[in-house]
Chain A
Amino acid sequence: MAFEGIGASVRRKEDARFLNGRGNYTDDINRPGQLHAYVKRSDRPHAKINSIDTAAASKAPGVVAVFTGADIAAENIGGLPCGWQIHNKDGSPMAEPPHPVIAVGKVRHVGDPIAVVIAETKQQAKDAAELVAIDYTDLPAAASLAAALAPGAATVHDDVPGNICYDWHIGDKAIVDGVFANAHKVVRLDLTNNRLIPNAMEPRAAVGDYDVNSGEYTLYTTSQNPHVIRLLMGAFVLHIPENKLRVVAPDVGGGFGSKIYHYAEEAIVTWASAKVRRPVKWTAERTESFMSDAHGRDHVSTAEMAIDAQGTFLGLRVSTQANMGAYLSTFAPCVPTYLYATLLAGTYKTPVIYCEVKAVFTNTVPVDAYRGAGRPEATFLLERLVDAVAYDTGIDRVDIRRRNFIPADAFPYQTPVALQYDSGDYQTTLAVALKNADWAGFEARRTAAKARGKLRGIGISTYLEACGIAPSAVAGSLGARAGLYEVANIRVHPTGSVTVFTGSHSHGQGHETTFAQLVVDQLGVPLDQIDVVHGDTAKIPFGMGTYGSRSLAVGGSAMVKAMDKIIAKGKKIAAHLMEASVEDIEFANNTFTVAGTDKSKTLTDISLTAYVPHNYPIDELEPGLDETAFYDPKNFTFPGGCHISEVEIDPDTGTVAVVNFTAVDDVGRVINPMIVEGQVQGGIAQGIGQALLEAAIYDESGQLISGSMMDYTMPRADNLPNIHVATENTMCTHNPLGSKGCGEVGAIGSPPAVINAICDALKDYGVRHMNMPATSGKIWSIINAGPSKMAAD
C-alpha cells in the first residue's frame, strides 16, 4: 500500500465529486415547496428613507410576501452583532452603532438592504423588486477615509461624531518618541493598502427551512463557520435556541475570509421561512456580492523607522487610518489592531514599536478580514519601509534584512508588540530563497532584458505572520467575544473504519484528505476507511470554523487529542483482552501489543470488542470507541519566510509582467506537500492581484465604480507566472503536530515582494515607493515623465 500518512502528497478524496459535477453547494440545494428571495438594495450611498411603498410589488405575479426593515423591527429582532470589542486610548469602548438586518430610516452604503421580496420563482421576486418604490432624501456621503475624517464631514451614524469607531494604540509613545529624537536617521514612508473585494468564485447563498411540527429551523449557508453563525444568529439576532437551530455549510466555493461573517441574508431567509411557512432561498448575483460581501484592507498609514549609522532598526512608529465601512462586520475591529499592529515587529528585532490606529466609519460596504487580515497590511508597510531604509541609506536590501533579523537562537522571542514567537529561522529561509531565485544572477538578467527593451527588477520580502488563532483567554482579554478553540470527534466504528467530525470547515483547503492523513498516521487506519465530516451543526459537537490559517494547527491538534483518548481507551480494552497490565500495552501501526511479547490485537479487534462488550472491563469502562476533544491553543503560530519576485516592465505600455516568483515558507510540519504548495500558490496569486490589478474604487459620491467583474480586475491565467514554492520548516513548539499554517502566507508575503521589484525596475526613474495596484497607467505616467521624476503615488 502506498504511503498515505503525514508527508505524503495524497491525491484529494474530495476531487471525485467536484470533477464530476456532484459537489453540493448551497445553491444546489432545493427544498420542497421552496420560495425565492430577492433583496432590494440601496442604490444611494447615504440617504434618509422617507417611505417605502410595497403595494405594487406585493400584488405582482408569484409574490408571496414583501418585508421591510419595519417588519423586522416589529418582531424584536436584534441587529447583526459584532464579535470583537476594541477599547480606545482612554480605555473607553469603541463606538458600536446598530447594524440592522434590513435598513430602517436611513441607508448607509450602496447595497444596504431595504426590502426583501419573496416569490415562487427568482425571476418573479426580482421583477417585483423593481416595483418597490422608495422615496429618499439624499444625504452627503463620506466615501473615503479622507472624506470621513475631514472637518464637517457627513456623519455615517448620527451618534458617532467624527465617524471615529475607535482610536486605539499599542506601545509606549513616550519611549518610542525618545528613541526617534536621538536616532542617527529617521526614514519615513506614507502608504496606502488598497481596498479589495474577496470574490470567492461561489457567490453567497442561503436557504432557510422552518419545520412547523418540530419548531426547528435549518439554515443552509455559504459559511466558513456554521457553529459561529448558529451562535450569532440564534442568540443575538433571531433569538432561536441552539437546539432548535441547525446550520449547514455544505460544499463552499471559496471563502478567503468573506464567508466568516454573519450576514443579513442568513437571518432574513431563516426568519422569513417561518413567516411564510415555506423554505426560502436566496442566492447572490455577483453584482450583489460586490456591494454586500465584506471588503478587505483599506488602510492609509504613515510609517517611520529610526536607525543607527549601520542601519540597525532602533524603533518603529506607525500611524494608521483603517476604513470600517458603514457598519461593523463580525470581526472587523480586530483586523487593524490585534491582527495588524502586533505584527509590526515582523522578522526583525526592532526593540521599540508604537502604533496608533483610527478606525473610521464611511459610506461604503463593511470591511473585515480578507485572506491575511491585517497581516498583509503590516507586512506591506514593514517590507516597503525596510526597502525605503535601504534606498535612503544605500545599504543593500538583503544585508539590511540580515542585519536586523531575529536570530534563530533567540526563540522564544518576545516582541515589543505583545506576541511571543515560538520558532523560526529567517536567515535560512532567506538564504534558500536567494538561491532558488538565483538572486546572484539577476544583474545579468536585467542586462539581457534591457537589450530587449524591458525594465527588469527584483524584489524581496522577508515576512512573518501570526495564525492559528488563538488562545481563548488571550483573545478574550483583547476583546474577542468568543472562544477560539477547536473541536474534534473521532468515531472508530465497530469494524474499524473511522469518521472524523471536525469543527473546522473546508472550502477548498482539502481537509477531507489532510485530516484523514492525520488518522492514517496516528491510528494506522487506511485512508479509504476514513471519512471527514464538517459543516453541519447537527452532526458536529461544536466548532469555531476555518479562518486565520487555523484548521490544522488548532483543528488538527484537536483531532490528535481525541485520537490520544481513543488510544488510551483502546489500551485498557487491549489489556483486558490480553490479560496484561495497561502500562505494558503499546500501540503502533493499527495494532496494540503487549510489550516484550508476541501478543497483539488490531484496532478492529478492539473496536469490535468496544461495541460488542461481552468480554469487557464493563465495571471500569463504558462501551464504545468514540472520543471528543476541545483543543485550546497555547499560543499563536508564526509562519514566516521569504518571497522573491522578478518583474519586467514594458516601457511603451507600462505593463508589468511577473516573470519569476519564488517562495520559501516556514509553515511548520507539512501533512500534504501537494496541498501546501497549492495553498501557497493561491495566496500568492491573490497577493499579485493586490499588487498589480485589484482595487475597490468608490467615487466621491459613494458609488462603487469597480462593481462588477468587468470593472474589478481579477487575476487571470495570463496575468500570473509559474509560482515556485518550497518550504524550509521549523516546528511549532506548542501544538502536538508542530504545524503552523499555510493558507495565508502567500497573500501576506507577496505584495511587497512585487512592489519592491517594480521600484527596483524603476530605480532610474527615482521611484522610491509606489502604492498598489501598480497599474500600467500609473507606471506609464512615471516612465513618460522621464528619469529622475519622484513618483508621488
Chain B
Amino acid sequence: MPQVTLTVNGKQHTVEVENRTLLVEVLREKLALTGTHVGCDTSQCGACVVHVDGISAKSCTMLAVQAAGTSVTTIEGLAKPDGTLHPMQEMFREHHALQCGFCTPGMVMSAIDLVNNHPGGITEQEIRDGLEGNLCRCTGYHNIVKAIAAAHPLMHGKA
C-alpha cells in the first residue's frame, strides 16, 4: 500500500493508504480529526472542505495520494493554541451562523478562503455566489452571509 506523508495542522504524518483512499478518510479515520465531515457522495455539500496549501478543497474529492507533500489545515487547526478563535469562527458564533453544526467546519473553511480572495471588499452577492459549493439545511444562510461579511474587515485588518 502506498505511503503518504503530509502535514496536517502543522504536524507531519506518514500514513499507509489504499490507492483509492480519500483525503477525508485519512483525516477522519487515520488521524482522528473528525471535525471534517462527509455530508454527500457527489461533491455537492462542502461539509468536507479543508485548506490544502492554503486553498479550500473538498477533501472527499481528493485522493490521499494527491495530498502527499502538502500542508493541510482542518477546522481543528484554526483556533490559536490558547483557544482564541479565528475571526471567522468568532463571527459565526456572534451572528448565530450555525445550528446543528454539521456543515459548519466546511462552511467556515470555505468562507475563509472566500474572504482571503476578496481583499478589497466583498458584497453580499459575492458571498452568496461564493458559497455555491456549500450546503446548509438549518440556517437559510442569512446569518452565515452576515457572519462572513462581518469577518471580512477583521481578517483584512480593517476593523
Q: Which residues of A contact B (CB under 8 A)?
A: 11-12, 14-23, 25, 27-28, 123, 199-203, 251-254, 256, 285-287, 507-510, 674-675, 677-679, 681-686, 708-710, 714-718, 720, 722-723, 746
User: What would 20 more interface pairs be, CB under 8 Å, given A201-B135, A253-B37, A714-B137?
Assistant: A19-B108, A20-B35, A21-B34, A200-B102, A201-B47, A201-B138, A203-B38, A254-B138, A508-B100, A508-B101, A674-B96, A681-B139, A682-B137, A682-B140, A714-B135, A716-B132, A717-B129, A717-B145, A720-B128, A746-B140
Inter-chain contact B98/A722, CB cutoff 8 Å: no
Inter-chain contact A709/B44, CB cutoff 8 Å: yes
Give the distance in Å from the alpha carbon of A254 to the alpha carbon of B101 in the complex.
8
Inter-chain contact B42/A710, CB cutoff 8 Å: yes
B64-108 CB mask vs A (1 if < 8 Å, else 0) is 000000000011101100000100010011101011111111001
Give the distance in Å from the alpha carbon of A85 to the alpha carbon of B132 in the complex.
44
Inter-chain contact A202/B102, CB cutoff 8 Å: yes
Given contacts A20-B76, A510-B99, contact A720 B37 (CB under 8 A): no
Report the 5 A-B pairs with minimum CB-CB distance, sorted nearest first: A21-B35, A253-B102, A18-B101, A685-B140, A508-B100
Instruction: Select A717's contact among B28, B36, B128, beta carbons within 8 Å.
Output: B128
Q: How far is the CB of A660 from chain B (nearest CB, A)?
A: 13
Q: How far is the CB of B1 from chain A (nearest CB, A)?
A: 12
Give the distance in Å from the alpha carbon of A123 to the alpha carbon of B21 in the complex.
9
Instruction: Select B137's contact among A19, A28, A254, A681, beta carbons within 8 Å.
Output: A254
Instruction: Select A21's contact among B96, B105, B138, beta carbons within 8 Å.
Output: B105
Q: Which residue of A lies closest to B139 (CB)?
A: A682
Which residue among B33, B89, B127 has the maximum number of chain A CB atoms within 10 Å of its CB?
Answer: B89
Q: Which residue of B lies closest to A14 (CB)?
A: B101
Residues of A within 8 A of B93 (CB): 11-12, 15-16, 19
- A sample of 28 inter-chain contacts (CB < 8 A) reads A11-B94, A12-B96, A15-B98, A19-B93, A19-B101, A19-B104, A19-B108, A21-B33, A21-B36, A21-B76, A22-B35, A23-B34, A25-B34, A201-B138, A202-B39, A202-B100, A253-B102, A254-B99, A254-B100, A254-B138, A286-B42, A287-B42, A677-B96, A708-B40, A716-B141, A717-B127, A723-B140, A746-B140
Give the distance in Å from the alpha carbon of A718 to the alpha carbon of B135 in the complex.
11
Q: Which residue of A lies closest to B140 (CB)?
A: A685
B111-147 CB mask vs A (1 if < 8 Å, else 0) is 0000000000000110111011011111111111100
Residues of B within 8 A of A14 (CB): 101
Q: How far is the CB of A31 from chain B (nearest CB, A)?
A: 14
Q: How far is the CB of B149 from chain A (nearest CB, A)?
A: 11
Instruction: Select A286's contact among B39, B85, B125, beta carbons within 8 Å.
Output: B39
Instruction: Select B37's contact among A25, A199, A508, beta carbons within 8 Å.
Output: A25
Number of interface residues of B (CB under 8 A): 55
Q: How far is the CB of B114 from chain A (nearest CB, A)?
A: 11
Q: How far is the CB of B31 from chain A (nearest CB, A)?
A: 12
Inter-chain contact A722/B142, CB cutoff 8 Å: yes
Which residue among B18, B40, B89, B145 has the maximum number of chain A CB atoms within 10 Å of its CB?
Answer: B40
Inter-chain contact A718/B129, CB cutoff 8 Å: yes
Q: Which residue of B lies closest to A506 (CB)?
A: B100
Give the distance in Å from the alpha carbon of A251 to the alpha carbon of B98 in the complex.
13
Give the distance in Å from the alpha carbon of A18 to the alpha carbon of B38 in the complex.
15
Residues of B within 8 A of A710 (CB): 42, 44
Instruction: Select A19's contact among B18, B36, B92, B140, beta carbons within 8 Å.
Output: B92
Given contacts A21-B33, A681-B143, A716-B132, contact A253 B41 (CB under 8 A): no
Inter-chain contact A716/B41, CB cutoff 8 Å: no
Inter-chain contact A723/B100, CB cutoff 8 Å: no
Give the distance in Å from the alpha carbon of A635 to the alpha carbon of B157 in the complex.
54
Which residue among A11, A15, A16, A720 has the maximum number of chain B CB atoms within 10 Å of its CB?
Answer: A15
Number of A-B contacts (CB under 8 A): 175
Given contacts A11-B94, A709-B45, contact A682 B138 (CB under 8 A): yes
Inter-chain contact B101/A251, CB cutoff 8 Å: yes
Residues of A within 8 A of B124 (CB): 722
Give the distance in Å from the alpha carbon of A17 to the alpha carbon of B40 in the complex.
22
Give the distance in Å from the alpha carbon of A620 to the alpha carbon of B96 in the complex.
48
Inter-chain contact B99/A678, CB cutoff 8 Å: yes
Inter-chain contact B100/A253, CB cutoff 8 Å: yes
Give the distance in Å from the alpha carbon of A722 to the alpha carbon of B125 in the complex.
11
Residues of B within 8 A of A202 (CB): 37, 39, 100, 102
Give the distance in Å from the alpha carbon of A716 to the alpha carbon of B92 in the complex.
18
Residues of B within 8 A of A714 (CB): 44, 135, 137
Give the distance in Å from the alpha carbon of A510 to the alpha carbon of B98 in the complex.
10
Give the distance in Å from the alpha carbon of A200 to the alpha carbon of B40 in the complex.
11
Give the distance in Å from the alpha carbon of A509 to the alpha carbon of B141 in the complex.
16
Q: Which residue of B lies closest to A253 (CB)?
A: B102
Give the distance in Å from the alpha carbon of A717 to the alpha carbon of B142 in the complex.
8
Instruction: Select B140's contact among A15, A18, A684, beta carbons within 8 Å.
Output: A684
Inter-chain contact B102/A201, CB cutoff 8 Å: yes
Residues of B within 8 A of A12 (CB): 93, 96
Q: Which residue of B lies closest to A17 (CB)?
A: B101
Inter-chain contact A509/B39, CB cutoff 8 Å: no
Q: How far is the CB of A749 from chain B (nearest CB, A)?
A: 14
Which residue among B101, B105, B141 has the maximum number of chain A CB atoms within 10 Å of its CB?
Answer: B101
Residues of A within 8 A of B99 (CB): 254, 508-510, 678-679, 682
Inter-chain contact A716/B100, CB cutoff 8 Å: no
Give the distance in Å from the alpha carbon of A720 to the alpha carbon of B128 in the complex.
9
Q: How far is the CB of A683 from chain B (nearest CB, A)?
A: 8
Q: How far is the CB of A64 from chain B (nearest CB, A)?
A: 18
Given contacts A19-B104, A21-B75, contact A678 B96 (CB under 8 A): yes
Q: Which residue of A lies closest to B21 (CB)?
A: A123
Instruction: Select B41's contact among A285, A509, A510, A717, beta carbons within 8 Å.
Output: A285
Residues of A within 8 A of B76 (CB): 20-22
Given contacts A23-B101, A201-B39, A287-B41, contact A508 B138 (CB under 8 A): yes
Q: Which residue of B lies closest to A254 (CB)?
A: B100
Inter-chain contact B89/A718, CB cutoff 8 Å: no
Instruction: Select B141's contact among A11, A674, A717, beta carbons within 8 Å.
Output: A717
Give the distance in Å from the alpha carbon of A717 to the alpha carbon of B85 in the complex.
24
Residues of B within 8 A of A19 (CB): 75, 85, 89, 92-93, 98, 101, 104, 108
Residues of A within 8 A of B142 (CB): 681, 720, 722-723
Q: Which residue of B lies closest to A688 (CB)?
A: B140
Inter-chain contact A718/B39, CB cutoff 8 Å: no
Give the distance in Å from the alpha carbon of A682 to the alpha carbon of B124 in the complex.
18
Inter-chain contact A20/B79, CB cutoff 8 Å: yes
Give the distance in Å from the alpha carbon of A22 to the alpha carbon of B32 in the complex.
11
Residues of B within 8 A of A716 (CB): 131-132, 134-135, 141
Give the distance in Å from the alpha carbon of A254 to the alpha carbon of B96 in the complex.
15
Give the distance in Å from the alpha carbon of A755 to the alpha carbon of B141 in the complex.
21
Give the distance in Å from the alpha carbon of A711 to the alpha carbon of B28 in the complex.
27
Residues of A within 8 A of B125 (CB): 718
Q: Which residue of A lies closest to B18 (CB)?
A: A123
Give the distance in Å from the alpha carbon of A11 to the alpha carbon of B124 in the complex.
24
Give the distance in Å from the alpha carbon of A252 to the alpha carbon of B137 in the complex.
13
Q: How far is the CB of B38 from chain A (nearest CB, A)?
A: 8
Q: Which residue of B lies closest to A708 (CB)?
A: B42
Q: Which residue of B lies closest to A22 (CB)?
A: B35
